[in-house]
Amino acid sequence: MAEDVTLGDVARASGVSMAAASRALNGKDGVRPEVRDRVQLVADGLGYRPNRAAQNLAGGRASVVGLLLGSDEIRLDIYAASLLQSFVNVADSHDEGLMIIGDSASPNVAVRNLIRDGLIDGVIISAVALGEKWVEELLDANVPTVMVGAHPRRSDLCVVDVENSSSSETVVGHMLDTGCQRVATLTGHLSRVDASLRLDGYRAAHTKRDLTIDDSLIFEGDFSRAAGYERVDEILSANPDALFCANDEMALGVHKGLMERGVSVPGEISLAGFDRTSEIEFAGPLLTSIGQPFDQLATLAIETLSALVDNEQPPLEQLVTPEIFWGETTHPREPTPMEPNVPPDRLERK
Amino acid sequence: MAEDVTLGDVARASGVSMAAASRALNGKDGVRPEVRDRVQLVADGLGYRPNRAAQNLAGGRASVVGLLLGSDEIRLDIYAASLLQSFVNVADSHDEGLMIIGDSASPNVAVRNLIRDGLIDGVIISAVALGEKWVEELLDANVPTVMVGAHPRRSDLCVVDVENSSSSETVVGHMLDTGCQRVATLTGHLSRVDASLRLDGYRAAHTKRDLTIDDSLIFEGDFSRAAGYERVDEILSANPDALFCANDEMALGVHKGLMERGVSVPGEISLAGFDRTSEIEFAGPLLTSIGQPFDQLATLAIETLSALVDNEQPPLEQLVTPEIFWGETTHPREPTPMEPNVPPDRLERK
DNA sequence: TTGTATGCGTTATCAA
DNA sequence: TTGATAACGCATACAA
């Protein structure tokens, strides 16, 4: 293992003071470009890496972000696992550490401690964790925070999210435009912002076409596969010819139920979901779905948190536009050259 | 947010020097019990928390462990996700930070940097990541390392694992003892130690009953659900009346294939898996399976790594005994009062 | 534009 | 058993 080379070594080798070297390396001004380049070169040559603990202690930052996903979501929730995976990759490429924060006895204390201990600079909280009561307390602790997915009540928090409403509107609109007369929707818990926004999109697709909304076609679910499966009969009794589910999990549950009942998709019922997580599933249907831009969300979240830590004023809300995958569970659409379909890109299994 | 109280504050309030306070709090000797107690009390009262960055800088440890799971496993591999979940919980209760290390451009460099940066004390590597070529380089870098699941060639590394062989033997033995004449097995990649140990158990169950082993009943798979599904015909052509799969994923794949062919389980074929991860699955079979003791593995791994960092000599190999869940895919067994079945404990979906 | 000096919070070394 | 004091590696106010 290479010996540790310190800032002092770099400074000496460059023939400047530590202060100058520090400024040069950190992009602060007050240093001649020529010197800056030289120091940078020497540092690279020596393989210099700043000691984060020292940086942190000296008033800098920890360069580590905390990620809060909820108690058991990593294992149970494909969305959470996918998001985490993206955070792992993005954090790495941003040279940030990523610390996963779990659901301890008193996690709000845990997080505050992490901050005070100087281990992390701030936290990124996924909306899937918002059920946890302690998250609420945490939000008052004044730690730099970025939400992935909006918080139902706190509008003062920076939030990064996918364009829930308009993308849902596009998909539902497509159903309506391809001959479906009775488009139903199975929502998430409507206490969640994303769930309610996706329902808004469903509604907007109708109103913009001067169609009245039949409330008996709206079913409130809970984002779980079981919810989809168990409510198939109830949904069928409303006699729909299309169903927009607020996530893929529910769509898969519904699909299973429909298959068991011999209902053809999309022949008798068109089906679409959200998240595009179902492709991990083995041998499932090629579900039409709105693809969560996980990498973009993670990138935005990390960069926003970074700005927050630096006392900048990042935008309160940043939405990213998802790509819609038109699968085989909805009627085909006219492909336009400007807006080609996203290729299946079915995941390889190891 | 409570003001940061430093060691100096504690020392002053206790009427001792910082040095004494430090010793007292760290359990070093050379301090009167009476003083130790007083300092401890004062520290608690003030809500003192040591600054990890400072501790680290002063030659202590980072109190953060790195976890290496491979490039895309969190999202794709239920085993990896479950393990991660346990690590999150265990790390928290051990007051250790948990940093997830991803698959960057040059991850071996990344990890070494993390160590040099003072961000982590060592790494825990899951065997699922061992496919990655760079892990090999990393292992030579002399960073404190604990493996979860053995490494095929490096016997010098501390390893924590489940009892693969004997538990497999028990399950296969049960199949043989409940009337099965031709017990087949679908293994993992036999380059992996756990896969080959589970096969050893399969063999041992036979030899201990003076049964010859029919190699045509042994199929090498790759731990993927697809492998199970796709090889159903091949397996069936060997005419087995039982199948032991080296993990639940493959077992689920096989089960799906068997259902499609109208083969009854366990009527015509008994089926068992390993890991007990299938219960997350919605509406799958109650698969007989060997339950990975995820929490115990995580606990052992973290404590072993901690010992390693402290220059102690933890045991090179630590095996934990799994609990076997006898589901509905194998023939019933005589329940003995001494060894009751593990209750189903089917997971709730949110 | 540069260098000097100080401090961040802790542990470790050494006298006392 | 204690308590000054010197590291640890870096950033920054301040002086030059």
Tens of pLDDT, residues B176-235 = 999 999 999 999 999 999 999 999 999 999 999 999 999 999 999 999 999 999 999 999
> How far is B152 from A249, CA to CA, in rounded Å?
37
Query: By CA distance, what is A62's nearest residue in B?
Result: B53
The CA–C1' separation of B58 and D3, in angstroms, is: 19
The reply to whether B129 and B171 lie within a common domain is: no
Q: Above 90 in pLDDT, residue A52?
A: no
Q: Do A98 and B100 touch (CB under 8 A)?
A: yes
Work out if B29's Cβ lies within 7 angstroms of strand D: yes
- pLDDT tens string A256-303: 999 999 999 999 999 999 999 988 777 778 999 999 999 999 999 999
**CATH number, domain at B106?**
3.40.50.2300
Burial class, B283, CB count within 10 angstroms (exposed 0-12 / middle 13-18 / buried 19+): exposed
Is A276 contained in some domain?
yes
Asked if residue A144 and residue A260 are part of one domain, the reply reads no
Has residue A59 been placed in a domain?
no
Task: Inform me whether the pLDDT recorded for B81 exceeds 60.
Answer: yes
* Residue among A90, A112, A98 nearest A69 (CA): A98
- Boundaries of domain holding A203: 165-292+325-349
pLDDT attached to residue A113: 63
- The residue to which tokens 């020292």 are assigned: A54
Question: What's the structural domain count of chain A?
Answer: 3
- Sort strands B97-101 and B64-68 into parallel, antiparallel or unpaired: parallel
Closest Cβ opposite residue A118 in set B2, B51, B82: B51
| A220 and A341 share one domain | yes
Comparing A317 with A111, the larger pLDDT belongs to A317
Contact check, Cβ <8 Å, A280/B76? yes
B55 in a structural domain: no
pLDDT tens digits, residue range A82-97?
Answer: 999 999 989 888 888 8
From the alpha carbon of A20, which nucleotide's C1' atom is closest? C2
A277 CA to C5 C1' distance (Å): 57
Q: Which residues of B touch A117 (CB under 8 A)?
A: 49-53
Residue A97 lies in a domain: yes
Q: What is the pLDDT of residue B1?
A: 43
Of the candidates A270, A271, A228, the one whose C-alpha atom is nearest the C-alpha of residue A249 is: A228
The verdict on residue A92 lying in a domain is yes
Q: What is the pLDDT of residue B311?
A: 83
CB contact under 8 A, B110 and A98: no
Q: Provide the CATH number for the domain around residue A30.
A: 1.10.260.40
Judged by average pLDDT, the poorest of A159-163, A342-346, B49-53 is A342-346
Query: How many Cβ atoms are within 10 Å of B58's Cβ, its own excluded?
Result: 11
Indicate if A194 and A273 belong to the same structural domain.
yes
Is the CB atom of residue A60 positioned under 7 angstroms from any atom of strand D? yes
Q: How far is CA B86 from CA A75, A153, B299, in A?
A: 9, 31, 8
Let me know if residue B56 belongs to a domain: no
Which residues are paired to B272 by β-bridges?
Answer: B244, B288
> Which chain B residues are closer than 8 Å to A97 by Cβ?
99, 114, 119
Q: Which of B242, B223, B100 is nearest to B179 (CA)?
A: B242
| Model confidence, pTM | 0.88
Q: Are residues A232 and A285 in the same domain?
A: yes
Model pLDDT, residue A301: 97
8 A C-beta contact, residue B43 and residue A57? no
Residues A298 and A288 reside in one and the same domain: no
Of A153-162, B136-145, B161-170, the range with the lowest mean pLDDT is: B136-145
> Rounded to whole angstroms, how far apart are CA atoms A111 and A94?
22
A61 touches chain B (CB under 8 A): no
3-state DSSP call for residue A146? Answer: strand
Domain for residue B334, yes or no?
yes
Are A100 and A154 in a shared domain? Answer: yes
Residue B91 lies in a domain: yes
> Is there a single domain that holds both residue B31 and residue B157?
no
User: For residue A309, what pLDDT band results from cuts at 50, 70 and 90?
Assistant: confident
- How close, in Å, is residue A101 to chain B by CA atoms? 7
Q: How far is the CA of B120 from the C1' of C15 (A)?
A: 35
List the structure tokens of B20: 């004494």
Do the strands B270-275 and B288-291 form a parallel or antiparallel pair, or are they unpaired? parallel
φ, ψ (nearest 5 deg) of residue B199: -70, -40
Output the CA–CA distances (angstroms, integers) from residue B315 to A89, B155, B192, B309, in the order listed. 33, 12, 22, 14
Same domain, B93 and B185: no
Looking at strand D, which nucleotides approach a protein CB closer than 7 A? Answer: 1-5, 7-13
pLDDT at residue A21 in the model: 92
Determine the pLDDT at residue B146.
95
Q: How far apart are CA A206 and CA A218, in angstroms?
A: 13
Both A225 and A345 in one domain: the answer is yes
Query: Does residue B76 belong to the interface with chain A, where contact is any CB pair within 8 Å?
Result: yes
Q: How far is Cα B99 from Cα A119, in angstroms, rounded to an integer?
A: 11
Checking if the pLDDT of B113 tops 80, the result is no
Taking CA atoms, A152 is separated from A69, A131, A155, B248, in Å, by 17, 11, 8, 39
Nucleotides, chain C, CB distance < 7 Å: 1-5, 7-13
- Looking at the structure, tell me whether residues A215 and A344 fall in a common domain: yes
Highest-scoring range by mean pLDDT, B67-71, B110-114, B302-306:
B302-306
Is residue B69 domain-shared with residue B94, that is, in the same domain? yes
Q: What is the pLDDT of residue A115?
A: 65
